[in-house]
Structure 1
Amino acid sequence: MFRLRRTTFRARTLLLLGALLAVVYICSDHKTIHLKEEVKKIGCRTKAVTRHNSTVQSWRKCEKNESAADSKGFRFLSGVIKNFLYYHHCRHFPMLLDVPDKCGGADDSAEVFLLLVIKSSPVNYERRELLRKTWAKERLHNGVWIRRIFISGTMENGLEKERLNKLLELEQREYSDILQWDFDESFFNLTLKQVLFLEWMERNCAQVHFMLNGDDDVFANTDNIVEYLQSLKDNNGSKHLFIGNLITNAKPNRSLGSKYFIPFQLYPSQKYPSYCGGGGFLLSVHTALVIYNMSQSIDLFPIDDVYMGMCLAKAGLAPDLHIGVRTLTFHIPSSKIDQYDPCYYKDMLLVHRFLPRDTYIMWQRVHEPGLKCVKS
C-alpha cells in the first residue's frame, strides 16, 4: 500500500510539473515580475512590477514592418511619415508609471463622476503643476468627485530621457496622477496615447461616469462641466455622449510641407468623418468604451481627433457640437477689449491655448464672488 501511495504521489507531482511547464511555455514571451500581492491578470501580458504607485508591464519589442516600403510613392514621403508606416501596427509598449487605483479600483470607479484625462509631454512640468492647483484640482464639487490623470510618453535619449523620466517619477510620488508608456512622445503618436489610455481605462476605471479629454494648455471650467453633465436628462454616463468643437466636411491635407499632411497610403478617401477638435472634448464612459472596442479593428491614424471620429463612425455614432467648447477659435468682439476679460469665460466649458500664467489668473477671476458681467 505504501508503494502504491508513493507511485500515486509521484504521478500527481509529474502532472503538476507538466501543468506549470505549460503555463511557463505559454507566457514565456512576456516575462513578468511581481512586487504586489494581487496583480490583475489579463492574458499573458499584464503581470507587472509595481513601485511608487506605478506598474511596469513587459512586452515583446514590436518589429518594423518592412513591407510598408513596397507601397506606391513610399520613397517620396518624409522620414516621419515613413516611420509611422513602418510602426503604426505597434500598440503595446512598456508601462513605466501607473495608478491602477486612481478611480478607487475597478469595482468602485463609479464613485468618480468626472475623470480629467490630460495629454502632457514630460517637459511640461509647469503646466501640470499649474493645472493641479486650478481647474484640474481633485475635489468634490456639487456632491460628486472630480479626479485627474496625466498621460505621457517619453522624450529624448540617453541621460536626458532618464532625467525627464525621473521628473515624472518624482511627480508621481507626490501626486499619483501620471500614466506613462515607453513610446516616443510626438504629434503622430497622440493616437497611440489615446488608445493606450482607453485600454487602461477599460481595465481600471470602466465605471466612471464621464471624462474630459484634453491638452495641458486648455482652460477648462470644470465646475461648469460638472453642472452641465449633471443637467443631462436620462444620461449618467451609460448612454452616448461625445461633444466639443465639431468639425465636419474636413478633407485630408495633401500638402507635403504641412504638419497635418496625410498621404494616400494612409487615407485614400477625400473626406474625414465628423469629429471634435482634439484640444478638448467631453464623452461618456459608454462612448469611451465603444471607441476602444472599435479601435481594435481600425488601424492607427496620425491625427488623434480624426481617429476618434473614425471609431465613432464605425460604431454608427456621431459627435456633437457644444458652443461652450472652443478648441479652434474664440472670437472677442473688439480689439479694444481685454481678450482675457473673465466675463467672456465664466460660462464657457473649455477654451484651447492658454499659457500657465493666464490659466492661473483666469481661474481665480471667474471664481471671484463679486464678479459682475453685463450681457450686451
Structure 2
Amino acid sequence: MYISSLATKMGRSSCLREATALLVIGILCLVIIFSKEDIPPDDPSNHVHINRMESTYQNRPQKPTSESAGVFTWGHCERNESAANVSGFSSLPGHIQDFLFYRHCRHFPMLLDVPDKCGGPHKSADVFLLLVIKSSPVNYDRREVLRKTWAKERLQNGMWIRRIFLSGTTGTSFEKRKLNKLLRLENREHNDILQWDFNDSFFNLTLKQILFLEWMDKNCRQARFIFNGDDDIFANTDNMVDYLHSQKNKDGDKHLFAGHLIRYVGPIRETGSKYYVPVQVQESDSYPPYCGGGGFLLSGYTAIVIYKMSHTIPILPIDDVYMGMCLEKAGLRPESHFGVRTAGLQVPSQKVDAYNPCYYREIILVHRFLPHQIYIMWHGIHEPNLKCGNLQGSL
C-alpha cells in the first residue's frame, strides 16, 4: 500500500510539473507574439524615403477616431514597379530609386493634428500671420527656443500670430516610438504640431509642403498670410507683420510670394551633391524663378493656388523649386525681399561682431542660427537700451 500510494503521489507531482511547464511555455509564446506585433522588424523596407504605409492619391480616408478629431488613417500605397523601367534606373543612388518608386504617393497616416489652430475653417480670417515651420522630430531644442522667441503666439499690433510645426517620423522601432511620444507630449502642452507617418528626410520636404497645404485648405483656408521656413533660422516676426500690414492688400486675398529670389539656375547633376537631381527626375536643365526654402512669405490666396497647381505637377524633391513650378503654372511670379537672407548675413568687416543685434533689427530672416544664438539675438533686438548709432559700412 505504501509503495502504491507513493507511486500515485509521484504521478500527480509529475503531472503538475508538466502542466506548469506547459503554462509557462504558453505565456512565453504570447509575450513573443505581442512583442512582434508591437515592434516592427528593422529590415530594409523600413528605410525607404517614403514608407510603405502610404496611400494612393485616390484613396479615401477612414473616419477620424473620437480621441483625435480630424486625424485620418490612409490605406496602403503600392510602389510603382514600372519606375524600374526608366532608362538608367539601375545606376541611380538608392534614395533616388526609392523616390521614383513612391513619387505618386501623396497621402499618409496623420499622427498629430491641431484642427482648431486657426479657430476653425470659418474663423481662420482672424489669423493675420500663420508661422509654418518645418522641423524634424529630433529638433526638440529648436522648437522650444522658437516657442519662446520669434515664433511665440501673440497679438502683434492688434493682429494674431499663430504657429505650427510640420514633422514626419524618424528612425525605426524603439527610436521612432520614443520620438513620436516626444512630439505627442509637446503637442499636448503647446497644441502646435502636425505630424504624418512618412520618413522625415530632405527628399520628402516637398511632400511635407503639400500635406500642409492640404491641411490648410481644410482647416485654415482664410488665414491672411503665411510664413514658411526652417527651424534653424532667426526671424524678426515684428518686421514681418509691419511689412505685410504695409501692403495695399492687407487681407491676403491677392497674390504675394516674397523671399530670397533665385533665377537662371537648373538641376544639379553631380551625384555627390545633396541637391542632386538626375534627368530621370527632372529632364529640363532649367528651373523657374523661385525663393530659397529657408523662409518666404506668401498670402493665403497664393497658398491655395499653389495647392491647386500641385495636383497636376509631379513631385520634385527640391521643395523651394517645386513652389516655383506651381507659381509658374498658375501664371504667378515670386518677388525679392531685401530683408530675407537665406544665404546668411554678410557684415561689412571681419573686425565687427557678426552677431551685433543692430544688424538684425531691420531684417526679416537670416538662415543658419543655433538655438542659443536665436535666443540671445531675439532678446538683443528687443533690448530697450539698445543703441546702434552709425554702424560701420552697410548691409
TM-score when scaled to structure 1?
A: 0.87
Amino acid corresponding to residue 262 of structure 1 in structure 2: V
Q: Is the 8 A contact 1:54 1:96 kept in 2?
A: no
Q: Give the equivalent residue in structure 2 for 1:124.
A: 139
CA distance in 1, matches of 2:134, 2:69: 18
Is 2:378 the partner of 1:367? no
CA distance in 2, matches of 1:147, 1:50: 25
Q: Give the equivalent residue in structure 2 for 1:56.
A: 71
CA distance in 1, matches of 2:390, 2:208: 41
Amino acid corresponding to residue 58 of structure 1 in structure 2: T
1:308 offset after TM fit, Å? 0.2
Amino acid corresponding to residue 313 of structure 2 in structure 1: I
Partner SS, residue 148 of structure 1 = strand
Q: Give the equivalent residue in structure 1 for 2:274.
A: 259
Match of 1:278 among 293, 296, 308: 293
1:304-339 Cα deviation digits (max 9, x unpaired): 000000000000000000000010132111111111
Question: Could you say if the C-alpha distance between residues 137 and 54 of structure 1 is closer, same or farther in structure 2, counting changes exceeding 3 Å?
Answer: farther
Q: Give the equivalent residue in structure 2 for 1:102.
A: 117
Q: Give the equivalent residue in structure 1 for 2:344.
A: 329
1:21-45 Cα deviation digits (max 9, x unpaired): xxxxxxxxx9xxxxxxxxxxx9942
CA distance in 2, matches of 1:280, 1:184: 22
Is 2:223 the partner of 1:208? yes
Q: Give the equivalent residue in structure 2 for 1:45.
A: 61
Is 2:198 the partner of 1:183? yes
Q: Is the 8 A contact 1:55 1:96 kept in 2?
A: no
Q: Is the 8 A contact 2:360 2:381 kept in 1?
A: yes
CA distance in 2, matches of 1:72, 1:80: 17
Q: Is the 8 A contact 2:62 2:74 kept in 1?
A: no
Partner SS, residue 106 of structure 1 = coil
Q: Is the 8 A contact 2:59 2:74 kept in 1?
A: no
Q: What's the Cα RMSD here?
A: 1.5
Q: Give the equivalent residue in structure 2 for 1:358.
A: 373
Question: Could you say if the C-alpha distance between residues 212 and 179 of structure 1 is closer, same or farther in structure 2, counting changes exceeding 3 Å?
Answer: same
Match of 2:243 among 210, 228, 241: 228
Question: Could you say if the C-alpha distance between residues 219 and 46 of structure 1 is closer, same or farther in structure 2, counting changes exceeding 3 Å?
Answer: farther
CA distance in 2, matches of 1:210, 1:360: 25
CA distance in 1, matches of 2:336, 2:83: 37
1:55 offset after TM fit, Å? 4.3
CA distance in 2, matches of 1:111, 1:283: 17
CA distance in 1, matches of 2:72, 2:247: 38
Q: Is the 8 A contact 2:131 2:163 kept in 1?
A: yes
Q: Is the 8 A contact 1:190 1:303 kept in 2?
A: yes
Q: Give the equivalent residue in structure 2 for 1:139.
A: 154
Aligned length: 335
CA distance in 1, matches of 2:172, 2:66: 24
Q: Is the 8 A contact 2:121 2:219 kept in 1?
A: yes
Is 2:328 the partner of 1:313? yes
**More divergent stretch after superposition (325-334 vs 97-106):** 325-334
Amino acid corresponding to residue 213 of structure 2 in structure 1: L
Runs of 4+ in 1 over 6 A off after TM superposition: none
Q: Give the equivalent residue in structure 2 for 1:27.
A: none
Is 2:184 the partner of 1:155? no
TM-score when scaled to structure 2?
A: 0.83
Partner SS, residue 371 of structure 1 = coil
Partner SS, residue 123 of structure 2 = helix
Q: Give the equivalent residue in structure 2 for 1:39.
A: none
Q: Which runs of 5+ in 1 are unaligned?
A: 1-29, 31-41
1:56 offset after TM fit, Å? 3.0
Is 2:163 the partner of 1:170? no
CA distance in 1, matches of 2:250, 2:129: 13
CA distance in 2, matches of 1:67, 1:234: 47
Partner SS, residue 56 of structure 1 = coil
CA distance in 1, matches of 2:153, 2:240: 14
Identity, in percent, stands at 63
1:119 offset after TM fit, Å? 0.2
Match of 1:113 among 121, 125, 128: 128
1:226 offset after TM fit, Å? 0.4
Partner SS, residue 49 of structure 1 = coil
Amino acid corresponding to residue 113 of structure 1 in structure 2: F
Partner SS, residue 164 of structure 2 = strand
Q: Is the 8 A contact 2:59 2:75 kept in 1?
A: no
Question: Could you say if the C-alpha distance between residues 190 and 50 of structure 1 is closer, same or farther in structure 2, counting changes exceeding 3 Å?
Answer: farther
1:54 offset after TM fit, Å? 6.5
CA distance in 1, matches of 2:215, 2:61: 13
